[in-house]
Amino acid sequence: MKTPYELLAVEPEATDAAIKQAYLEKVKDNPPDRDQERFQLIHNAYLSIKDHKSRLSHTLFSVPTADFDELLDQALHVTQAPQVRPEHFKQLLRAGLDETNRLDAKLHAGKS
């Protein structure tokens, strides 16, 4: 399965504006009226990486191979803490070090 970045054809470092632009271009080619499922896929990809806050939680909490049942099992029977893979951990560190981004994320969280 493709990651949201692959789906929207953007780099992980892309800005909010660039991601939005990429999303709109995808929507233009895949209007909801033509193929609803494809549109939903694109829209969900956009939602998961549209701003710093969502990108952070996407990086931390999305398990690339998870399907719904697995997620549900995890949610209902928390026997072990979710595994954090080394590259995720690194990203988490980087996110924590980037003060401006963190402020940004807090600001967004405060607004909503």
Partner 1 sequence: MKDIIIGIDLGTTNSEVAVVEQGKVRVIAGDGKTILPSFVGIDDHGNILVGETAKNQYLVYPERTVKSIKRLMGQDIQVPLAGQPYAPQEISAIILKRLKAIAEKHLGQPVGKAVITVPAYFSDAQRQATREAGEIAGLEVVRMINEPTAAALAYGASQSEAKRMLVYDLGGGTFDVSVVNIQSGVVEVLSSHGDNHLGGDDFDQKIIEHLLKHLQKTSHVDARDHSKAMARIARAAENAKILLSDQPYAQIEEEYLLEHEGSPVHLSVELSRMEYEAMIEDYINSTLDAVHIALKGAKLTASDIDEVILVGGSTRTPCVRERLFSEFGFEPHGEVDPDLCVAMGAAIQAAMISGEQVDTVLVDVTPYTYGTSAIGTLNGEFYPFMFVPVIHKNSVLPNRKTEAFMTNYDGQEFVEVAIYQGEYPDALNNTLIGEFRVEGLQNVAAGNVITLTLALDLNGILHVSAQEKATGLEKSIVIKNALSRFESTTLDTAKQRITSLFGQLEHNPDELGEPAPFEEPAAPEIEAARSVMAKAESLFERVSETDKEDMVDLIGTITACIKAKDIEGLKEPVDQLNDIIYYLES
| Nearer to partner 1 among residue 72 and residue 93 (C-beta) | 72
Q: Name the nearest CA neighbour of 46 among 58, 32, 64.
A: 58
Taking the complex as a whole, how short is the minimal distance between the CB of residue 39 and partner 1, in angstroms? 7
List own/partner pairs for 45-51 with CB under 8 A and 24 or more apart. 45/4, 45/7, 45/8, 46/4, 46/8, 46/19, 46/20, 48/4, 49/4, 49/5, 49/8, 49/10, 49/19, 50/16, 50/19, 50/20, 50/23, 51/16, 51/108
Instruction: Fill in the per-residue mask, 59 to 98: x = in contact with partner 1 (CB under 8 A), - = not in contact.
Output: ---------xx--x--xx----------------------
Among 65, 83, 100, 112, binds partner 1 (CB under 8 A): 112
Taking the complex as a whole, how short is the minimal distance between the CB of residue 89 and partner 1, in angstroms? 29
Among 9, 11, 36, 84, binds partner 1 (CB under 8 A): 36
Q: Footprint of partner 1 on this chain (CB under 8 A)?
A: 20-21, 24-25, 27-28, 31-33, 36, 39-40, 43, 68-69, 72, 75-76, 111-112
